[in-house]
Amino acid sequence: MNTQKYVAEAIGTFWLTFAGCGSAVIAAGFPQVGIGLLGVSLAFGLSVVTMAYAIGHISGAHLNPAVTLGLAAGGRFPAGQVVPYIISQVVGAVIASAVLYLIASGAAGFDLAKGFASNGYGEHSPGHYNLVACLISEVVMTMVFLFIIMGSTHGRAPAGFAPLAIGLTLTMIHLVSIPVTNTSVNPARSTGPALFVGGWALQQLWLFWVAPLVGGVLGGVLYRWLSPDEPEGIVAGK
């Protein structure tokens, strides 16, 4: 039965990476009708909303190693499934990046050196933010993301609205932090594009694993402490 969950996570993370990074690579700066920062932010948020409704009942729709680890730290997810979930998410993100590369490279003037929606710090930060600023941004943003995920999926939260709350949160996160790191808060989403860009993107990838995972755990633990009276039967992914 777990196979379906892992495949669902791969498909969901494929969509998040393809839709989100694709909006940045293909549509953000398109002449005259480019969607810009707001459009890219909405694309990431909407990708989560749509997949949460599509596969939330199958796998919990984590779509993100930091979410999986954070939910485990918050007592919402079995520790034994963390690694298979993360592997599935990374696989989905890498396949999405490969498909995006095949499409984007079909345009004249395509250049991987432009970043391919990779995350970075220092000279590779869109706003040239330093390492410390980028580290703090990714930790705090992911921590808040997990806090809201934990709260909106709580057994006493309004039913049926969690995907909207989570998707809108991811949109807001991107609106704030695209200029800082190009917004990761998701190690799988960062890994896919970095594998194609190589060089600096792979050298800086460590930050976009460490910071979101730390932030995810902090958010999960904080919410678990704040609201320990979790009703039974709503552990994500069970």
Domains of the chain, earliest start first:
2-104+114-226 (1.20.1080.10)
pLDDT tens-digit series, residues 150-182: 999 998 888 889 999 999 999 999 999 999 999
**Residue 1, pLDDT score:** 60
Residue 154 CA to residue 151 CA, distance in Å, equals 5
Task: Look at residue 73 and give its three-state secondary structure.
Answer: helix
Confidence of residue 230 (pLDDT cuts 50, 70, 90): low
Report the b/e string of 187-221 with b at 16+ CB within 10 A: bbbbbbbbbbbeebbeebbebbbebbbbbbbbbbb
Residues 6 or more apart whose Cβ sits within 8 Å of residue 189: 13, 16, 17, 20, 21, 64, 93
What DSSP string runs through 86-130? Answer: HHHHHHHHHHHHHHHHHHHTTSTT--GGG-TT----GGGSTT---
Task: State how far the Cα of 18 lies from the Cα of 129, in Å rounded to an integer.
Answer: 26
231 — phi, psi (to 5°)? Answer: -65, 145
pLDDT tens by residue, 119-153: 999 999 999 999 999 999 999 999 999 999 999 99
The DSSP secondary-structure symbol of 134 reads H
Question: What is the rounded (10 degree) CA torsion for 219, 148, 188, 171?
Answer: -140
C-alpha angle 7-12-13 in degrees, rounded to nearest 5: 100
Q: Where are the alpha helices (DSSP H) in 23-81?
A: 36-59, 65-73
The mean pLDDT value of the chain amounts to 93
Confidence of residue 237 (pLDDT cuts 50, 70, 90): very low
pLDDT given for residue 235 in this prediction = 37
Give residues with Cβ within 8 angstroms of 70, minimum separation 6: 142, 146, 149, 150, 215, 216, 217, 219, 220
pTM above 0.85, yes or no: yes
